[in-house]
Amino acid sequence: MENKMYGEFGGQYVSESLMNTLKELEAAYREAVADPKFWEEFDFYMKEYVGRENPLYFAGKLSEKYGTKIYLKREDLNHTGAHKINNAIGQILLAKRMGKTKVIAETGAGQHGVATATGAALFDMECKVYMGAEDIERQKLNVLRMEMLGAKVVPVTSGSNTLKDATNEAIRTWAKEAEDTFYVLGSAVGPHPYPEIVKTFQSIISKEAKRQCMEKEGRLPDAVVACCGGGSNSIGMFAEFLEEPSVKLYGVEAAGLGIESGQHASAFALGRPGVLHGMRSYLLQDEDGNVQLAYSISAGLDYPGIGPEHAYLHDSGRVTYDSVTDEEAMEALLELCRLEGIIPAIESAHALAYLPTICKNMTEEQILIVCLSGRGDKDINTIANYIESRGGIRG
Ligand SMILES: *Cc1c(COP(=O)(O)O)cnc(C)c1O
């Protein structure tokens, strides 16, 4: 992306003081990815620390139910329980290479904060995580995890006290402390070159999945589906298939209580392009262009925007984006528990909830890969409340 843009999306909408810092980051990134030694180190930690490669698991009973061959890419089996560690380790290796001694990160639900704190502990970096005061209250266990790992959690009390504000604060802090500090950004969003960096590290998901599918089936999948918050597990899952026109690609956003309710996190549903967190992309905003609060039962999808490459892939028609409600996702979550003995993250359950829509146009011989972005242990309290509200497990 020489021109920093994905069509009309992307860019570097930041203060003058950050332009040089971004330039320095891009130069270091280009140099690192051209160095086989960098990739040797990355691959080493992916294998020995994260536990890759993770399986491409044939979900037999799910396949039977939906009448097509369904494989799950098991990011839930990674150390720390999701795909976010791939990116956190990649960026911290880059930080180390640049001679930085401190890292900062933004976090909403706390998952990216935990992944960054984990990498910081591993590589002896000082770590500060910016988190909305409201989110700190809602996600006490992840705050404790980060602190146990040696990170300092910094409460952000501006705007809505949530992820959007924590991200602004992290960017502001970076502008002041960039000399010794690296900003580990958690999704495929933000100013150039972050969306590209995050895609590069997360594309390990589709590199493995493509090879595994060729080994097991001798051919490419017919379709691939992933959930979209900011869009990092999905862009990682799509990356190796973007240039394979026979593979249909689906991104699933959170429709929350329903698009018409206004309580949702679908940047594409009613969203219009605008500028947030240094990028131009689709956003949730009101008539006057004020960014609106996103809502989803899943804390990890609760982001009012989406990465700029997704905006481009949406407009070009290469990827089909749609959304599912809280209830559809939670029912799909419970179904995977019963059918396959796997408790998925609520985020990942959004991709599962889209199976009926995709599979009705597929045959028994066709192959669908679902990105199971994370495990559901972190969501047990939310799941318990949902089960109670529906009158029990079988209710
Ligand atoms: C954070 C998170 C997501 C959403 O983030 P993306 O950047 O869109 O991938 C999805 N799944 C899990 C398990 C997460 O923790």
- Indicate the pairing of strand 319-325 with strand 181-184: unpaired
Question: Does any ligand 1 atom lie closer than 6 A to the CB of residue 298?
Answer: no
Question: Does any ligand 1 atom lie closer than 6 A to the CB of residue 77?
Answer: no
Catalytic-residue membership of 232: no
Q: Which helix (H) or strand (E) holds 55?
A: none
Q: What is the pLDDT of residue 2?
A: 53
Residues in Cβ contact with 136 at an 8 Å cutoff, skipping those fewer than 6 apart = 143, 153, 155
At residue 370's C-alpha, the angle toward residues 368 and 372, to 5°, is 160
pLDDT in tens, 330-342: 999 999 999 999 9
Question: Does any ligand 1 atom lie closer than 6 A to the CB of residue 119?
Answer: no
**C-alpha to C-alpha distance for 261 and 249, rounded to whole angstroms:** 27
pLDDT in tens, 313-331: 999 999 999 999 999 999 9
Q: What are phi and psi of 165, to 5 degrees?
A: -75, -35
Q: What three-state secondary structure class fits 349?
A: helix
Instruction: Give distance in angstroms: CA of 253 to centre of ligand 1.
Output: 11
- Indicate the pairing of strand 152-156 with strand 279-283: unpaired
The answer on pLDDT for 296 being more than 90 is yes
Residue 394's pLDDT band (cuts 50, 70, 90): confident
Q: What is the pLDDT of residue 271?
A: 75
By the 10 Å C-beta count (0-12 exposed, 13-18 middle, 19+ buried), 371 is classed as buried
Catalytic-residue membership of 348: no
The answer on pLDDT for 261 being more than 70 is yes
Q: Which residue has the higher pLDDT, 128 or 292?
A: 128
Cross-strand partners of 154: 130
**C-alpha to C-alpha distance for 223 and 204, rounded to whole angstroms:** 18
Q: Which residues of 93-111 are buried (b: 16+ CB within 10 A; e: fewer)?
A: bbbbbbebeebbbbbbbbb
Instruction: Give distance in angstroms: CA of 111 to centre of ligand 1.
Output: 8
Instruction: Give distance in angstroms: CA of 227 to centre of ligand 1.
Output: 7
Question: Does any ligand 1 atom lie closer than 6 A to the CB of residue 326?
Answer: no
* Other CB atoms within 10 Å distance of the CB of residue 364: 10
Pocket test for ligand 1, best of 75, 86, 87, 187 (most atoms within 8 A of CB): 187
pLDDT in tens, 147-190: 999 999 999 999 888 999 999 999 999 999 999 999 999 999 99
- Provide the CA 293 distance to its chain's centre, in angstroms: 18
Q: What are phi and psi of 211, to 5 degrees?
A: -65, -45
The mean pLDDT value for 95-107 works out to 98
Question: Does any ligand 1 atom lie closer than 6 A to the CB of residue 236?
Answer: no
Q: Which helix (H) or strand (E) holds 94?
A: helix 84-97
Cross-strand partners of 321: 251
